[in-house]
Chain A
Amino acid sequence: MTRQEHPIAQVSQAALPEPFVKWFAERGWSPRAHQLELLGRAQAGKSVLLIAPTGAGKTLAGFLPTLTDLAVRSKRKPGEAHRGIHTLYISPLKALAVDIERNLGRPIAEMGLPISVETRTGDTPQHKRQRQKLVPPDVLLTTPEQLALLIAANDAQRFFKDLRYVIFDELHSLVTSKRGHLLALGLARLRKLRPELQTIGLSATVAEPEQLQKWLVPQNRDAALADLITVSGGAKPHITILDSEQRVPWAGHSARYAVEDVYRAIKEHRTTLLFVNTRSQAELLFQELWRVNEDALPIALHHGSLDVGQRRRVERAMAGNELRAIVATSTLDLGIDWGDVDLVVHVGAPKGASRLAQRIGRSNHRMDEPSRAILVPANRFEVLECRAALEANAVGAQDTPPLAVGALDVLAQHILGCACGAPFDADSLFNEVRSAEPYATLDRSTFDRVVDFVATGGYALKTYERYARIRQNKDGLWRVSNPRVAQQYRLNVGTIVEMPELNVRYVRQGRGGVSRGGAVLGKVEEYFAEALRPGDNFLFAGKILRFEGIRENECYVSNGSAAQIIVPSYAGGKFPLSTYLADGVRSLLSDPSRWNALPDQVSDWLRTQQEKSVLPGRGDLLVETFPRGDRHYMVCYPFEGRLAHQTLGMLLTRRLERAGARPLGFVATDYSLGVWALDDLGVRFKSRKPSLSELFDEDMLGDDLDAWLNESWMLKRMFRNCAVIAGLIEKKFPGQEKNGRQITVSADLIYDVLRAHEPDHILLQATRADAAAGLLDVRRLGDMLSRIRGRIVHKPLERISPLAVPVMLEIGKESVKGEANDTLLAEAATLIEEAMGPEEGSA
């Protein structure tokens, strides 16, 4: 393994064939040092990780070993069998594969190289797929899901027999999800078919490159990591925080106050890319920008829920430099070429230093020019977070999340896929699976339980032997018992489980259930549409829409009016702020000497807090208590993100309830948590009933957590994902969504039955593992509780403190959480009682 830039001696070992030398020379270019270095190492038989910023010629570097190898390969003689795939390129996005096909086409054509390059994605027509199997291209550009399908085919051996390189683009983003787990298992399989294959990983800067170097090679105790080549970051980006004359709000996520400033910035630049965190923020910002767009600048909107045709039009306009600004969510995060962007505006909290760096990296494709970026915090705490992110960026700090242990539902899917491809031997498959990085620590008994799950459902009650999907034959090999099993597998492959969604379709007003309607604007989540009432107005696709009703899998809308917009509730839960930034914010709070870097109104806010209450030390947890109205409040400031805070809120109210403090509710933000009760919490903490150290004791993560988890709707949702990925329930396809609801078994019902009868079932185990890392952020909560042990600062107050205002403003904004379903029913029933008198109970 090598960390430094390498001496020329090494570089010169790369053999660049003549046509390449000529091609570079004709264009007045010369190959960059890292491109040659990667080539040299690949030619020496090594696997390599290339970490480079956007614009460093990463793609060409990744493909140079392939192109040079194929350029000198002998021609296939007539009558000789077709060769298999030489290079497999895997990217997280279909669009990226298409983009690369275009970019590779040019050098290949200009040098006249005998190399065929093709894509294979979900959009590839059936006849082309079949032809690719018969006459494989030299280079195949594809996605992780397609790879899973290719290795589950019975001709995988032949298809991959000549495979030499596997290139992983945007590796940093591929590896952090279940998709990455499936991909790692796919790579292990490819290696089994072709032990000599070499990997090339292309990645943005990450916190721990060793993890990716390890990911790229088989997991043997003494195997060398993949070589590392790092291209340092070019010019430092020029980032500022918007210093608005306007008042920065206490709470909220809209950043409406800054729209005039943002519009001015757009006018002053050629092309501006505006990033926001959620779809609803994108819709709102877009709407607000057009409200002030006096010059009618071409400003467009782009997010993943829009109709695909609409998205492609925006992308083309962007690539053709026809737009002055584009408002986008993370759909544009990855490395697609976006024309001539000279400014990135990030609205809302950046949530992570690496995330911010990657987004800003979009703005400039010439790495020697600094990128320009403006951060627009939506509220006062976000000002602190932006400041912390800016400082992290200045020192090049990285906070990409660590890789997670391989998920068991993904493993189940993979095992079934292996059986679909060819009969497998359990011992040998176990070793193969352990050679994949996420599964390196998998133990044999868990593996066997997953195999058992794939075969018969893995139930203690052994009644399904005769219905087994895979069976062990006399030769000891496991085979699919029935061709239908393979068919089911192919329909359900992949790890991306979509929330049920409805098409948004135009109809004439008031004709909700009747007319067939017009154009489809995109998709919204079912749960969102279900909470709307006919006549409600909401923002979507840059338009104000009036909800008309739901019919089958369509959400009917008509043109709405600006007078009564309701904005979709903020789904801020997607990305909690990183631990690194959280620490940055705490450190900034605790050090008044650094406040002069903040806008005056924010530093004034902190100084007032210092006067009226206290500011927590960097490692401390501040807990304030105060009365307000007829209730008693407690606000604490862990800065661990909304998900962890929500979990904490649930657990604290349970404990307070047990202690008799009569808690009534709680509300969480990314930065703080507020709990309110009928009893005086300040008095209780002082008289140790309970004490704060008891209340925040780590043991809450034991029984209390289990008890709550079991009831939680969030866990049910996660279970559904695991059950779909593991192949217990089938994916829903368009059209079949609403049919026969009474015939299908919903995941909730399965969950309830399984929990009651087999709480240790492998799928429940997988679900709990997801909960710990995902929606509930239990792991992070645990780290926080252990960090603050003995460091809780209690500040009893007469009234609300300045720091507490943001979370207090959230009270009442949010709808009630899922546990209270029966309360809602009771309320609805009471409405009838009030309206019609108690007699109406009987019909």
Chain B
Amino acid sequence: MNEHAAHRRSFSGDIVVADNAAVCDPSGALYFPELGLLVVSDLHLEKGSSLARRGRLMPPYDTAATLLRLQSVLATYAPRIVLSLGDSFHDGEGAARLPAAFRVQLEALMLGREWIWVAGNHDPDVPADLPGSCVQEIAIAGLAFRHEPSRNAVPGEIAGHLHPCARIVQRGRSVRRRCFASDGARLIMPAFGAFTGSLNVMDHAYRGLFAWERFMAYMLGDRQVYPIASSLLRPG
């Protein structure tokens, strides 16, 4: 049976992390209106060419797709500060491989706003030859931004690295989507890049990071974000 979507009250994407109001955008970006701060994580730019170097000839369009997505979300929120939360490039030479046209496009996006590159495990040496400042981690308004989530509970930590996704089963069908993972105290960002895979929030890798009873997965839909409680989530 194929029923069309019924219209329902929709979730606006507004959440609170460690007392800061934020908006979960269905693109996978997180916006803090009071700070004028937009956070994206795990762009993995030049992943296609990184794999091609090792003989897997992925389409070379991932950087274009990711930048396009970034451009659109920047146009929506017009943030004062942009923070790229690590693994901005898929490997250490990614920034050097960036085709000239994309470099121009990226620099145009950076123009007129503060841009912060946080170091990631794929790009420990943050792209020094691009504009913007490079940091290992950074604290803003009581929030701590770092690439890899720390093992101990740190209230107000915003991290990336794990590429969270969540899965539900509804009416006999399974839906898996990238998600913001949060228990209200800390948050892990979904990966923003076009070629980035994802890891279920029920995987061992997340063990101990969240207070599970307060955990929500904010799953990315096509036009909005859907808040799903931990009781509905499935592994795999």
Contacts and interface: CB of A to CB of B under 8 A. Distances in A.
Q: Which of A822, A831, A836 has the most CB of B within 10 A?
A: A822
Contacts of A836: 229
B55 A843 contact: no
B1 A816 contact: yes
Interface stretch (B58-66, B112-120, B131-139): B58-66
Contacts of B168: 824-825, 828
A812 B3 CA distance: 10
A838 B12 CA distance: 11
B198 A756 contact: no
A819 B199 CA distance: 23
Interface in B1-30: 1-6, 8-12, 14-17
A757 B61 CA distance: 7
Contact of B1 (A531, A533, A812, A842): A812
Contact of B2 (A456, A742, A817, A821): A817
A131 interface: no
A754 B60 contact: no
A815 B172 contact: yes
Given A742-B162, A843-B16, A467 B55 contact: yes
Interface string B60-86: 111011000000000000000000000
Interface string A449-489: 00000001101010110010100000000000010110010
Interface majority SS on B: helix, strand, loop or mixed? Answer: loop
A239 B171 CA distance: 41
Interface string A663-692: 111110000000000000000000000000
Nearest to B218: A843
Contact of A531 (B3, B5, B173, B216): B173
A550 B233 CA distance: 13
Given A742-B199, A757-B64, A843-B15, A665 B172 contact: no
A529 to B, nearest CB: 8
Interface string B23-61: 000000000000000000000000101011101111111
A667 B199 CA distance: 35
Q: Which of B12, B47, B59, B235 has the most CB of A within 10 A?
A: B59
B1 A488 contact: no
A817 B2 CA distance: 6
A134 interface: no
Contacts of A44: none
A811 interface: yes
Given A469-B57, A549-B235, A828-B232, A741 B199 contact: yes
B223 to A, nearest CB: 8
A833 interface: yes
A825 B177 contact: yes
B59 A457 contact: yes
B142 interface: no
A334 interface: no
Contact of A832 (B5, B184, B229): B229
Contacts of A650: 2
B144 to A, nearest CB: 18
B167 interface: yes
Given A488-B55, A741-B199, A821 B175 contact: yes
Given A744-B197, A818-B173, A811 B1 contact: yes
B2 A828 contact: no
A832 B2 contact: no
B216 to A, nearest CB: 5
A530 B3 contact: no
B12 A825 contact: no
Given A745-B195, A753-B65, A832-B228, A464 B49 contact: yes
Interface in B180-236: 182-184, 191, 194-200, 214, 216, 219, 221-223, 226-229, 232, 234-236
B183 to A, nearest CB: 7
Contacts of A818: 173
B174 interface: yes
B14 to A, nearest CB: 6
A459 B99 CA distance: 15
A485 B62 CA distance: 23
Contact of B58 (A728, A811, A812, A830): A728
Nearest to B235: A550
B171 A741 contact: no
Interface string A300-322: 00000000000000000000000
A703 interface: no
Contacts of B232: 828, 831-832
Nearest to B97: A463
A814 interface: yes
Contacts of B163: 742
Contact of B4 (A551, A664, A728, A812): A664
Nearest to B176: A530
B96 interface: no
Contacts of B14: 841-842
B152 interface: no
Contacts of A456: 57
A720 to B, nearest CB: 14
A23 interface: no
B169 interface: yes
A798 interface: no
Interface in B89-134: 99
A842 B173 contact: no
A829 B227 contact: yes
A567 interface: no
B58 A745 contact: yes
B159 to A, nearest CB: 14
A254 B223 CA distance: 41
Contacts of A830: 8-9
Contact of A742 (B171, B196, B214, B235): B196
B162 A457 contact: no
A530 B167 contact: yes
B99 A463 contact: yes
Q: Which of B2, B53, B64, B173 has the most CB of A within 10 A?
A: B2
A13 interface: no
B81 to A, nearest CB: 23
Interface string A746-766: 100110111011100100000
A816 B168 CA distance: 14
Contacts of B3: 664-665, 816, 820, 823
Contact of B236 (A530, A744, A761, A823): A530
B5 to A, nearest CB: 4
B197 to A, nearest CB: 5
B191 A666 contact: no
Interface in A479-527: 482, 484-485, 488, 526-527
Interface string A209-240: 00000000000000000000000000000000
A820 B5 contact: yes
A814 B1 contact: yes
27 contacts: A456-B57, A459-B61, A467-B49, A482-B55, A488-B55, A550-B235, A550-B236, A728-B57, A742-B191, A745-B47, A745-B195, A753-B65, A754-B59, A754-B61, A811-B1, A817-B2, A820-B5, A821-B173, A822-B5, A822-B222, A823-B6, A824-B175, A825-B177, A826-B6, A832-B228, A836-B229, A842-B15
Given A482-B55, A758-B59, A815-B171, 16 more contacts: A461-B61, A467-B55, A530-B174, A531-B169, A549-B235, A653-B2, A728-B58, A741-B200, A742-B199, A815-B172, A820-B3, A820-B5, A821-B173, A824-B173, A826-B6, A840-B227
Interface of A: 456-457, 459, 461, 463-464, 467, 469, 482, 484-485, 488, 526-527, 530-533, 549-551, 569, 649-650, 653, 663-667, 728-730, 738, 740-746, 749-750, 752-754, 756-758, 761, 810-833, 836, 838, 840-843
Interface of B: 1-6, 8-12, 14-17, 47, 49, 51-53, 55-62, 64-65, 99, 162-163, 167-175, 177, 182-184, 191, 194-200, 214, 216, 219, 221-223, 226-229, 232, 234-236
Closest 4 CB pairs of A and B: A457-B57, A815-B172, A742-B163, A757-B61
